[in-house]
Structures are given as structure tokens and as C-alpha cells.
Structure 1
Amino acid sequence: MFSIKKLGAIGRTYRHINRYHRILRVLFKYGFEDLVEMLHIDQYLESGLQMINRKPREQIEKLSRPERLRLAFEELGPTFIKLGQLLSTRPDFIPPAYLDELAKLQDDVPPFSFAEVEEIFLDETGRKPSELFYRIEEEPVAAASIGQVHRATLKDGQDVVVKVQRPDIEQLIAVDLEILAHLASLMEIYVEEMQGHRPTSVVEEFARTISNEIDYTVEISHIQRFARQFEDNETIYVPRVFRELSSERILTMENIKGIKASRVDTLRQQGVDLSLVAERGTNLIMEQIFVHGFFHADPHPGNIFILPDNVICFIDFGMMGRLNRQNREDFTDLLLNIIARNESKVTDGVLKLTNHYAEVDKEALSRDLSAMLDRYLYLPLKELEAGRIFQNLMELVSQHKIYFKPNLYLMMKSLSTAEAVGQMLDPELELIRLAEPFMRKVKSDRMRPGRIADETGETTSQYLKLIRELPDELRSILGQIRKGQMKIEFE
């Protein structure tokens, strides 16, 4: 994972000062001079801002502020595109207009040359692509901010796709993360409304996410774990990966020949049962979240292929979410209590699943949650939209300066996306109805005798460990007191 160094005088290295000035020029170009001035950035730059043109172009001034932020992020490249995509899942952190705009971020960038692809292969494998593949197309079929994809054929005739990481991307991201960490720390100092949001924590979370995305061996592990989860499920197909032709910067996997879920008219023309596919896809996401606790965090229609016999295939496993058993149980309780409109238990459930850095006014939180639940009070189950419930919930808790844990934001995003894709294929799809059996199973598993025995055994072993270790700990403390190395204060 990237190690984010603290930046004092940011100009201590040439790469930082150049990149920082580039970022500031783009912010000024798109009309964010007020933000730059609010953060007092000139105090930290050894080279001042006087030479930077601060006036945005006339056509840019006509755009809304969210549109300008999206364009700025696209111009700043891979790190900022990925950051914007993460922020688009965080209604607790930015207003709805920005969420909608950042969700439109385009990850399409010009490709890099095949000569550079060959150089990366030599660095990673010691061999050229022509030595490893029967055939590889020099023109990529897709180019994105992190890497690009080439079609190829193995020597045994197997068709594959080869994802190759963009040259020098790791160094660029490392510098950008340090600058973002610096900007986030300034926000916590100078922007009062940001202090409770802890922007530095968001940057740290982003660093963890993007670290996984640029190490393709992590994605390979994700694919293989995903395949094990569904090895006995005939409704899903998981692409085969070729580890011997992969590395941190190269990923070789089976070329999936299906129809993307986004091509609804083509699916219909090919006789695909759209209702069945919508239900299967939604159930697969439910199983990932509620049963396995390991789920695809970006199941948008471009990442889902439909194969013959209505079989579903996910691609792009760079960003995956994880939920431990306790999180799954607590979230299940919360969602069931929202459906049942059980106000007091909803409040307790929210507090279990959130981080709060100051004292929470539980009465005010309960009152606002009650008002939110009133919106759903008389709606039939089929009209309850999970995506809308989650967005309202995230916005509400952020107003009380409490925040869901990062993995829960990913999970709610995944469920909301699955609902949207499902309803695109079948407008009658009801995610809440499909989720109920999975949630009931989570609750029944909690009461399994074997589960209770496991937890009792775990608790007993923790007590035995404490009893074994306590005498040594006490001896150490008493020894420090005798030597005058420990001071005890009473208040």
C-alpha cells in the first residue's frame, strides 16, 4: 500500500512542486480560486502562486460548480478520476448535485504505445509479448486511466485479454496522494464544515483502495476467491485467469464473449429472459454480501456480461468490498427494522454501524430517523427503493456528524447499483423482496447451536488467555512502579 508522507513545505522535491502547481492551475482554470485561498496554500509553497493565471475562461464560468469539478478531475488524470468515483458513493461527504456529476466521470484516456507495452513485459517477465502469446493485437480495445486492454491468443488457441498498467502510473499516484493528504489536512484546519467529515480519513481510505487497483496480483486473488465462492452455482461464470502470464502490472484472463447488461435491446433480440437475468443478478449480489461478506463493489452494467442460458459473468474485480459477520448481522437488523418501521431499534442500529467522533444527541438523531421512516410508512414493500433509503440514511447521519464505516458505503453502493441494473432489465424487480430471504438466513444462522458453541468457545479461550497473561502483566506493572518508572494519577 502507498505510504503517505506528510508534506510541510511542499516544494521540497521538484516533482511535488511541479505537480502541485499543475493541480492549482487546473483548480483556478475551473473557478475554484476561493477554495485555494480558503486553504491558505500559498503559506506552504516555497514557490508562490503569483505566476498562475487565476481567471477561468468565459465558457467555463457558465457551467455549474459540480460540472466544473468533474471537468477539473478529468483533466487532472487517473488519481483524481478514481477519487471522484469514490466520492460519488459518499452522500455523507458531498452534496447530491456533486454526487450526480462525479458519477459521470469519464475514465477514457488516450492509449499508450505498443512499444511501451513491450517494455513493461520485458520489465515484468523478461520476455516480449510475441514470445509469450501466439498473437497479440497492438491496438488496445480499451484504454483507461490505470491501464489498457489488448486482445491476444495463447499458444494453445485460448482467446484472452491482457490488461497492461500505464507507465509511471504508480509514481504519479504516490505524489498525488501526498498532495491530497496535505490538502485534506488544510481542509480540517480551515474549512469548519469539513472538520467533522475527517477528509484525511477519506484520503487514507482512498489510498488503500487505489493501492489494490494498481496491483494486478490483488485482482487475481479477488477473482480466484470469487470463483471459489460460486464453484457450485450454475447461474454464474467466473473468468479464468492465467497467473503464469500475469504480474503486478500485467493481468491475463479469459476473453468473455457475451452481451453486456447495458445492451438491453440486443439482449431482448437474442431471446434472453430479462426478468430471470435481473433476479439472478440481484440474488448473486445478495449472496456475495449477506452470505460470503466478499462482494463486487462496482456491479454497473458495463461490468456484467450475459452468457448463453441466462448465465451471468462479472468482470473487473479491482475493487471488492468486505463485510465481517458482525457487520452483516448488524446491517441486516438495521434494514429489517427500517422495513418494519421500528424507530428505536433503527436508531440503535445506526449507532452500531457508524463512527462518531463527538457525543451524539441520540434524541435528535432518533427524531430525524423517525421523520425519515414516516416517508416509507404507508408504502407497499414493492415501492420501497433500497437506493433511495440508503442515500437518505447516509445524508441524515452525516448531518449528525456520524459516519458509516467505509466498507458499509461500498456495500450500500453495490446494492443500489444492483437495484438500478436489475430495474433497467426488469422494471418490476423488487430488491427488498429479494433481500428478505437472505436477511432471514443471517438472523437464523445467528441462533445455530454450532454458532453459539463457536462463540462460547471463542469467549472462553479469550478469558483463559487473559488469565494466563494477567500475572505477567501485573508483575511488569508492579516492577515499573517499584523502579519509579510509572506514575499513577487519581482524579
Structure 2
Amino acid sequence: MVSIRQFGVFNRTFRHLNRYQQILRVLFRYGFSDLAEHLHLDHYGLQLFSRNKQRDKEQEQLLRHSRPERLRMALEELGPTFIKLGQLLSVRPDLVPPDYLKELAKLQDEVPPFPYEEVRQIFLEELGKEPDEIFAVFSREPVAAASISQVHHARLELRDAEGGQRRRKVVVKVQRPRLERIISIDLEILARIAQLMEDHLEEVQGHRPTAIVREFSRSLSREIDFTIELANIQHFARQFAGCRELYVPEAFPALSTQRILVMERIDGIKASDIEGLRAAGHDLTLLAERGARLVMEQIFTHGFFHADPHPGNIFFLPGNVVCFIDFGQMGRLLFKDRETFIELVASIVSGDESRVTASLLQMTVQQGEFDRDALSLDISDFMSRYLHLSIGDLEIGRIHWELLRLFSRHQMFLKPGLYLMLKSLGTAEGVGLMLDPQIEMLSLAKPFIRKIKMERVSPRRLAAEAADTGAQYLHLFRDLPAETRSVLAMLRQGKVRLELEHHGLRPLEKALYRVSNRIAYAIVLAALIIGSSLVVLSGIKPKWHDIPIIGVAGFLLAGCMGFGLLISILRQGKGKV
């Protein structure tokens, strides 16, 4: 009997057959047919799309590229969801081999723009007006087009408090048409592929592909909702209200929706334009230190930070003022997680292996049992590389990558907030080194480290923690009698159940499912042959050459079914059930 879960899987597969077909076609054209076979996609009714794929001249040209290059090209062709996934994997050395990392880092998020008529339609659907009715000037040609949205320049005519008019240059982000539906289908397919990887590829099971896809799905869903980016900008602006070293672009909530975002246009110099910064008279050393301090203030003081501060997302304004743009990816960090990271850095510098181990265990989620002795040996090796270094000589980016590799070996996974924090610090460190090769990132973090350490032992903090702990114990003792009576009542009524969960039985379950299906198929086939024989012997009309037509039809159908069963066994089983 087909379960509800199996029916749901089949129903989703049927609804997305066109997209499955497109993905398989791309995989085969770029030489990844082995992946489809290893994932047993044909078991889910997709073999119709994987057969009869001949290598034409185009494919022969593609196969001249290396496998990492072909993976990058395939992801670019598959669209926004797969491009974003590739960009995520490009900074995960714990998941992806070095040659693939290098190639995935080249992923281009530039695609042809969609026409103005579709931009106009989105404005009508979201705001009930055309762009020309809202803006004094609206550039019909986009200045940039990516896989999720494209950007147009525009100008607003606003009335100030005195009734006068002021002009504001703005940028308008417009989401691609039908993007949400496309991404939702792709995310569902990725979740399915991740489950197949866990089922059939032992070498990736420890990396939890399904968990990675779930986190990626949450991140991408937030990124395509422009109301979330609008809220991020407003929160960021309140966080740095009154700060003269940082400028936050103004957002326009009345003109922004889930698919449209209007914000102030920044006429500054990108952090990547070193010659332009020098020509404008900027102090590069000051900019590097100021940018690094602002990133660390976001993380260690506020716990709400820009998660992708790469050179294209940082502008410098006159007076050496820093300006961040693109607030789609933001991170949040609990105070206890900030404390744990500070403890890790201090433990590395002091050479205390036991404290380093304790900090790493607090920063991660462990997958099943792990060998603590082996972990201690790896941590000892990790520590030996940094014992002779001062805090100023530690490179966050290098520590980040080595920690990810260490976690991968022991099936440990960084908490999402801490991963984004390390990624943000590493990216900011790269920008700082580009501006000033002598910058020492963690030396600049000393004031923040000192402040967090002082807060940990402050009388107010200790009193608050004592009060909170006391309140929790009070609630526990107050609720204990009622909870005890409830458990005893359940025992008396026989309502206590013991649930056992088996792990590692999925392959056996699927094998038994295939065996039972084939047995049922063979029984039906045998019954059809016997029934057709009886019809032929009975001489029932109508006949063809004195042979009952119904019997002939039964034999033909039985032959087709038998041939199909044989092919299935030879192709799928290869000697296995």
C-alpha cells in the first residue's frame, strides 16, 4: 500500500516534472550523468528523461572543460537558486574540494535584464501605479541585472516640512517576474536531491545535506522578500543613529513592497577602487581600520551585522565615511555566542587546549557520537600553528577555514549565527588587507574583547544571572508536584509509551519495497498469462484466424509487461534486488 508520505512525494514529482526534466537535461549535457545514476533518480519515475541522451558536438565541446568548470557552468544555466547555492558552497571548504571552491567562486550572478513592460506590470500589481506616475524620472534601462532582481536609477520629488520640494536620487530594486514560484520549485527539488544524497551517498551523509538545504532555503526565502531587507535597513539605521563615521542609505517604506525596494542612491567610491580612493584623497589606512571597527561593533556590541561586507557592498564617502549597501544578508548573534568566540580567541592565544575544546563544543552542534580523543589530537595540532603568534598576528580568515575543516572531520557543525559571524569577519579582514596590508584585525578587536570580558563579571550581570537562575528554580519547585501527579496518573492509566527509532534501515526498507512490488507485478503477470490461456482454449468469440482476440491481446500485454520487468531488473538491479 502506498503511504501518504510516498503519495506526497509522487505528487510533488509529478507537479515539477518539467523542471526535473530541465535539470536532468543540463546534468547530462555537462557530463554529470553518473550523479543522476548514483542518486537513483530513475527509481522515482525520471528515467524517461535520462534515456537516449546522445553526446552531440556541443556536449563534446563542453566535456573538454574540467569537471569543476562544468559544474559552475551548469549552475549558472540552472538559474538563481542554483547560482546562490553555488555561491554558498564556494565558502565552505569543509564541504567542497579546493579545485571546486576556486571554480565556484567565479560564479556570475549577471543575467540579461527583463523588459520594462514587465517592470511596469510589477509596479501596477504592487503599488497600483506605473513608475512614471511615482518618480519624476525613471530610467527604463536597468543599471544592473542579477538573477533575483534588477536595479533602475530614478529621481523622487519630495515635499519637506515647510511645503517646499526636494529632489532625491534613488535606486529601485525590482524582483524578477515569477521568481518566487521558480525558487519554491527549485528548493523543493533540492530538498529531494539532498534526501537522495543522504540515502545513497555514504561519503556525504556526515555533512547533513538536508540540513544545509533547509538553512539555505530559509536564507534565500528571506533574501527574496524585500520587506525583510527594508526592515534590516531601518534596524541598522537605528543601531548607528548619531554615528558620524557610518552613513546608512535612506529607505522609502511607502514605495517599497515584497517585490520592490526603493532606497537612496549612494554616490561614493567602492572599496575595490583603490586608485579612485587615492585620487579622491582618502586615507586608506584610516578607512581599513574604521571599516574593521564598524564591522566588529556590529557583531560584538549590537549582535546584528552585515553578513556579506565584500568590496562591492562597501562605499566610502567624503570625510572617510563608511557606507554599507545591500542588506539582504544580515546575521544575528546572541550575547552568549559572542562570549564563546571571545573565549576561543583568548584560549588560542594562551595555548589552553582544554578551553579551546570546550569553546568549540559550545560553538557547534554535534552529529551523533564522536571520538573525543581524536578531536583533542586535532585541536592540539590546530593549536601548534598559533602558539607562537600574538593576537595581532592571528588571521580570522585562516582560522575560519581551518576550523571548518576540523569540524567536517568530526561531524561538527557551526551554529548558523556563528558561521555568518566568522564569514563576515573574514570578508571584512580581506577588504581591510586590500586597503592596508599591515592591518591586524584582532588587535582592533581588543577593546570589544575587553568590554565583553568586563560585562561577564560586572555586578549587574552577575546579579541578573543569579536572579534569573533563582526564578527558574522557583518555577521548577512550584511546578514539580503537579508534573509528578501528571506522570503518576499516566502510569496508572497505562498511557506511558516507549518509542524506539531505528536508524540505518532506510535502504533495507526500500529494498523490501522493491521486492514486494516485483512479486506483486509477477503474480499479476502470471494471472494474465493463465487467464489468456484459458480464453484461447475456450474459443470465445470474436476470433482472428480461429484464435480468440481477447486471448491474443492478453498474451501481448503479458509479453510487454514481462519484457518491461526484465529490463527493470537488468538495468536497476545488476544482480541486486
If the TM-score is normalised by the length of the shorter chain, which range does it land in?
over 0.9
* Residue in structure 1 matched with residue 139 of structure 2 by the alignment: 137
The 10-residue stretch of structure 1 (436-445 or 412-421) with the greater mean CA deviation from structure 2: 436-445
1:359-418 Cα shifts (integer Å, max 9, x gaps): 221111111121122222334554432111110111112111111112222111111110
Q: Whole-Å Cα distance in 1 between the matches of residues 103 and 46 of structure 2?
A: 34
Indicate how the Cα distance of structure 1 residues 345 and 241 shifts in structure 2: closer, same or farther if over 3 A, else same.
Answer: same
Shift of 1:98: 2.0
Structure-2 residue corresponding to 1:28: 28
How many angstroms apart in 1 are the aligned matches of 2:406 and 2:6? 33
1:11 deviates by: 6.6
Q: Deviations over 1:222-241 (max 9, x none)?
A: 11111111113211001110
Structure 1 range deviating more: 298-307 or 425-434: 425-434
1:117 corresponds in structure 2 to 119
Equivalences for residues 64-103 of structure 1 within 5 A: 64-103=66-105
What's the secondary structure of 1:154's corresponding residue?
Answer: strand
- Segments of 5+ residues of structure 1 without an aligned counterpart are none
Aligned equivalents of 1:295, 1:224: Cα separation in 2: 13
Greater mean alpha carbon deviation, residues 426-435 or residues 45-54: 45-54
Distance 2:470 2:71 in 1: 54
Q: Is the 8 A contact 1:89 1:409 kept in 2?
A: no
| TM-score under structure 2 length normalisation | 0.81
Contact 2:25 2:50 (8 Å CA) reproduced: no
**What amino acid is aligned across from residue 21 of structure 1 in structure 2?**
Q
Question: Is the alpha carbon distance of 1:302 and 1:434 closer, same or farther for their aligned partners in structure 2, counting shifts above 3 Å?
Answer: same
Assess if the C-alpha contact under 8 Å between 2:349 and 2:390 holds in 1. no
Aligned residue runs from structure 1 range 260-409, under 5 A: 260-379=270-389, 381-409=391-419
Aligned partners of 1:98, 1:350: CA distance in 2, in Å?
Answer: 27
Q: Does the Cα contact within 8 Å between 2:148 and 2:176 map onto a contact in 1? A: yes
**1:25·1:52 contact (CA, 8 Å) conserved in 2?**
no
**Partner amino acid, structure 2, of 1:26:** V
Deviation of the 1:51 alpha carbon? 4.0
Question: Per-residue displacement from partner, 1:37-94 (whole Å, max 9, x unpaired)?
Answer: 1111111125523446264823322322222211111111100111111112222222
Give 1:434 shift: 1.2
Determine the structure 2 residue equivalent to 1:195. 205
Aligned residues: 485
Structure 2 unaligned residues grouped into runs of 5+: 159-166, 500-577
Identity of aligned residues (%): 56
The alignment yields a C-alpha RMSD, in angstroms, of 1.9
Question: Quick one: distance in 2 between partners of 1:486 and 1:149?
Answer: 60
Higher relative contact order (CA 8 A, sep 6+): 1
Contact 2:344 2:359 in 1 (8 A): yes
Counterpart residue number, 2:509: none
**Per-residue deviation, 1:9:** 5.0
The 10-residue stretch of structure 1 (470-479 or 109-118) with the greater mean CA deviation from structure 2: 470-479
1:166 partnered with 2:200: no
Match of 1:177 among 187, 199, 207: 187
Distance 1:356 1:9 in 2: 29
Distance 1:446 1:382, change over 3 A: closer
Contact 1:8 1:44 in 2 (8 A): no
Q: Is the 8 A contact 1:11 1:45 kept in 2?
A: no
Look up the equivalent residue of 2:222 and give its one-letter code.
N
Counterparts of residues 395-474 of structure 1 (less than 5 Å): 395-474=405-484
Secondary structure in 1 aligned to 2:438?
Answer: coil
- The answer to whether the Cα contact below 8 Å between 2:314 and 2:322 also exists between their aligned partners in 1 is yes
Q: Describe the SS at the equivalent of 1:363.
A: helix
The match for 1:59 is: 61
Instruction: For 1:131 and 1:6, locate their aligned partners in 2 and report how far apart those are by CA, in whole Å.
Output: 51
Compared with structure 1, are the counterparts of its residues 460 and 304 closer, same or farther at alpha carbon in structure 2 (3 Å cutoff)? same
- State which drifts further: 171-180 or 47-56: 47-56
Q: What amino acid sits opposite 1:184 in the alignment?
A: A
Partner-residue secondary structure (3-state), 2:192? helix
Name the residue aligned to 2:49.
49
Cα 1:488–1:386 shift into 2, 3 Å? closer
Distance 1:46 1:35 in 2: 13
Aligned partners of 1:8 and 1:373: how far apart in 2? Answer: 50
TM-score normalised to the size of structure 1?
0.94
Matched AA of 1:363: D
3-state secondary structure, aligned to 1:335: helix
Distance 1:327 1:307 in 2: 33
The CA distance in 1 between the partners of 2:97 and 2:192, in whole Å, is 23
> Quick one: distance in 2 between partners of 1:180 and 1:168?
19
Matched-pair contact (CA < 8 Å) for 1:7–1:182: no
CA distance in 1, matches of 2:7, 2:383: 45
CA contact (8 A) 1:108 1:144 kept: yes
1:256 and 2:266 equivalent?
yes
Give yes or no for the alignment of 1:209 onto 2:211. Answer: no
Q: Is the 8 A contact 1:11 1:17 kept in 2?
A: no
Contact 1:70 1:105 in 2 (8 A): yes
Moved more, 131-140 or 200-209: 131-140
Q: Summarize the Cα distance change of 1:366–1:54 in structure 2 as closer, same or farther, 3 Å threshold.
A: farther
Structure 2 Cα separation of the partners of residues 68 and 309 of structure 1: 46
**2:314, 2:28 → 1: CA distance?**
39
SS in 2 for 1:63: coil
